[in-house]
Amino acid sequence: MSRTAIYPGSFDPLTYGHVSIIERGLRVFDRIIVGIAINVRKTPLFSVDERVELIRGSFPEEERLEIDSFQGLLIDYAQQRNCQVILRGLRAVSDFEYELQMANMNRKLDDRIETMFMMTEESHFYVSSGLVKEVARFDGSVRDQVPDHVEEALAEKFAIQKS
Ligand code: PNS
């Protein structure tokens, strides 16, 4: 049986931390669906289409990777797409409580879908999309945190906002 994992998140924008989880996830699962959550309470910097493009830019040839978006509950989307696993990356200890709550809630909603965690690589431990945006907004370098095409997209986005 083929194993499909959903890797959900905001991906606003993709960081090397996300890239590492996707690469390593593809070694374990047959397919990964990156699910960009559309959160009506958040105002993202990048549109869904832009976020899809930035993720695809890091995996142009990877046929086992699908990039999609969803609205509403993650568990409903995971069921619709026949995913057996929800994949999440864990960074510092501070992620743990939030992730534990989500994993428990999702298990209550459907205990056939398992949440699995991958520890973020040491070098990406302190990388977050939020911090990357903050640094890039003020022209700081995010070269070590995001792929080149994401760095360029950030610079372009903030240049437009400032003009
Ligand atoms: O990258 P993020 O923003 O930390 O990802 C959070 C995400 C998208 C996984 C979470 O907010 C989510 O699952 N949203 C969809 C709505 C939902 O199912 N909420 C209940 C989670 S228990």
| 76 — pLDDT class (breaks 50, 70, 90) | very high
Among residues 91, 107, 137, 149, the one annotated as catalytic is 91
pLDDT of residue 141: 97
CA of 72 to the centre of ligand 1 (A): 9
pTM, rounded to two decimals? 0.96
From 74, 113, 131, the mutation candidate for ligand 1 (largest count of ligand atoms within 8 A of CB) is: 74
Q: How many domains does the chain have?
A: 1
- Please name the amino acid found at residue 98: Y
Q: Is the pLDDT of residue 130 over 90?
A: yes
| Residue 156 near residue 137 (C-beta atoms within 8 A) | no
The CATH number covering residue 139 comes to 3.40.50.620
Where does residue 130 rank: exposed (0-12), middle (13-18), buried (19+ CB within 10 A)? exposed
Read off the pLDDT of residues 84-106 as tens digits, 9 standing for 90 and up: 999 999 988 888 999 999 999 99
The reply to whether 108 belongs to the active site is no
Ligand 1 within 6 A of 74 CB? yes
| 124 — pLDDT class (breaks 50, 70, 90) | confident
Ligand 1 within 6 A of 90 CB? no
Distance CA(120)–CA(80), nearest Å, equals 28
List the domain range (segments joined by +) for residue 9: 4-162
Ligand 1 within 6 A of 78 CB? no
Give the mean pLDDT of 121-149: 94
